[in-house]
Amino acid sequence: MDDMVAGKAGAEIARLIDRLEAGLIGSEALIERLVIGLLTGGHLLIEGAPGLAKTRAVRMLSDAVTGDFARIQCTPDLLPSDLTGTDVYVPETGSFSFSKGPVFHNLVLVDEINRAPPKVQSALLEAMAEHQVTSGGTTWALPDPFIVAATQNPIEHEGTFPLPEAQLDRFMLHVLLKQPDLETERRILDLVERESREPVGKPSGVSLDSIREARKKVFDVHLSPALRDFIVRIVVSTRTPPFSHEIEHAVSPRGSIALATAAKARAFMSGRDHALPEDVTALAADALSHRMVLTWKATSEGRTARMVVRDILAATEPL
């Protein structure tokens, strides 16, 4: 990674990325997206086959920051209160006390989110959207920062509950993981062998104050009018010809906001105080594809939302 924008927070984020890259071979894109989520408060949906280090990546991120971490393993019998918490009767006082659930942590890993029933997904939606939980008529604020990193397996669909569009739209980025190539696979094996012989200690993590400071700098990154226009033209292309005939539900303005925010975070991570078209094009598929629904005809022809985004980028001039 290039030198960060000057400042203690920038230096700590740089060390964080170096630490993640040392323990996650061939996962540079995933690391970049995880740190973007950390710097913006955006939630991530990570999709990939078993064994591609989805859970490991989020755990490593949690080890590298000083905040609280919780993992929720989703199953079909999970209840909303298993996430949010519940009111517990206290005999000594004759009253109820709210016992907070695992969602009250800075970083929450929701493993195999599509195995959670719809009621659980809805409970998680309020936490993701409003950063709060309501129970028994009382609203409880979630910690700051608060990030959800959810995973799902694309090859097993029995006993799963596909995420509704409203839930998908709350994720800033949808990251698709691919199988590693031969060289990367060998490096992964070497890393695991080395870790089994020489357990790695845990250095001190990045403080939450540094993360908050870095967030302020991210939102100060300059987004030129021409680049804003570029983002808007990409998103509006999902609603107008020649691409709208393939799209049942186009990207909403939340997609423009997510793409702009993610581009600013990527610019900050590259040591720049201004975003470039390359920041937008690098993140467009992850920021927009899960926010659109293709027509039945387009799907039957083998088209995917990522293909449509790719074609829109090819047809849209940056400036």
| CB contact set of 195 (below 8 Å; sequence gap of 6+) | none
**pLDDT tens for the chain, residues 1 to 319:** 444 444 778 889 999 999 999 999 999 999 999 999 999 999 999 999 999 999 999 999 999 999 999 999 999 999 999 999 998 888 988 888 889 999 999 999 999 999 999 999 988 988 999 999 988 788 999 999 999 999 998 877 777 898 888 889 999 999 999 999 999 999 999 999 998 888 766 677 899 999 999 999 999 999 999 999 999 999 999 999 999 999 999 999 999 999 999 999 999 999 999 999 999 999 999 999 999 999 999 999 999 999 999 999 999 998 7
Helix residue ranges, H only, 27-117: 28-40, 54-63, 80-84
d(CA 103, CA 289): 27
What is the pLDDT, as a whole number, of residue 280?
98
Residue 239: phi, psi to the nearest 5?
-110, -10
Task: Identify any residues that bridge with 141 across adjacent strands, giving them in sequence order.
Answer: 132
What is the pLDDT, as a whole number, of residue 158?
72
Q: How many CA atoms lie within 13 A of 199 on its CB side?
A: 2
Domains of the chain: 8-197 (3.40.50.300), 221-315 (1.10.8.80)
What is the pLDDT, as a whole number, of residue 4?
41
d(CA 68, CA 76): 26
What is the pLDDT, as a whole number, of residue 241?
96
Task: Identify any residues that bridge with 88 across adjacent strands, giving them in sequence order.
Answer: 97
β-strands 69-73, 43-47: how paired? Answer: unpaired
